[in-house]
Amino acid sequence: MLTKPSKFIAIIPLFFLVACGDAPKKEAPKTEENVVKTDSIPVEPIPETPEEKEEEAFVLDEENAIDFFFNYAKELKEDKVRLTTSMGSFTIQLYDNVPYHKANFIYLSKKGYFDNTQFHRVVKDFIIQGGNSDDTKTAKKRRLIGRYLLPPDTRKGHKHHRGTISMPSSERHNPHKLASPYEFFIVVTKPGSYHLDGSYTPFGKVIDGMDVVDAINNVPVGDGDWPWQNVYILKAEVL
């Protein structure tokens, strides 16, 4: 967490049992118990086919995430994402030389992860942090995508200038500052929050709509810096 300086039918042939008044013609006493004749409607047999194996859904984890994003980044041509919020929209340009974080943000955007999440932490004149929610659907989306962390990538020359988008570290026991991939923060400090350099990974910057970011930073908040009135990310679009 960031701190200011000082989350078969087996088809069973359908039998109709019909009572028919005549008993079978064989040597048997005609008692009430054996006077019942069974008629059945013939059902054409269904040929047996091998059971189709359901394709297992791909899930990211701490063993496959790096290889996945390494390969995913090589195919990427897009480098911008527009976030439409309940307070307006802004556009982020992602840095090419921070490939894992860039690929992760685009992948999650394309998967629709950020849609209907919130800016759940707003610290006045410091940052706005998004990508979480108190909606159980967000937790479900995380489970379906996978549980993983990203390594820090802090030596590419990028600093936490105003408008920079960066990734917070996981709140788990995390001495190496591995990044929590589902959340992000945007710096609003003028000219920047440079005490964050070296601890968190800048992976892009706001190139349009910084006034919307500032407006979000000015909403009233309660305990834990969560806005009193939810600020939603309605849609993340890769450009």
What pLDDT is attached to residue 226? 96
- Measured CA to CA, the distance from residue 216 to residue 7 in angstroms comes to 19
The answer to whether residues 34 and 28 touch, using CB atoms and an 8 Å cutoff, is: yes
CB-neighbour burial class of residue 136 (10 A; exposed 0-12, middle 13-18, buried 19+): exposed
H-helix or E-strand spanning residue 236: strand 232-238
The CA-based dihedral angle spanning residues 130, 168, 179, 136, taken in that order and rounded to the nearest 10 degrees: -30
Q: What is d(CA 202, CA 194) in angstroms, rounded to the nearest whole number?
A: 11
Separate counts of helices (H) and strands (E) for the chain: 4, 8
pTM of the model: 0.77
- The answer to whether 129 touches 7, Cβ cutoff 8 Å, is yes
Whole-angstrom distance, CA of residue 219 vs CA of residue 232: 13
Measured distance between the N- and C-terminal CA atoms of the chain, rounded to whole angstroms: 29
pLDDT digits (tens, 9 = 90+) for 29-41: 444 444 444 444 4
For the chain (239 residues), the mean pLDDT of every run of 10, in chain order, is: 47 39 46 44 54 73 96 96 98 98 98 98 98 95 96 95 94 78 98 96 98 98 95 98
Cα atoms in the 13 Å half-sphere on the side-chain side of 27: 0
- Those residues whose C-beta lies under 8 Å from the C-beta of residue 14, and which sit 6 or more positions away, are 41, 43
Determine which helix (DSSP H) or strand (DSSP E) holds 20, and give its type and residue range. Answer: none
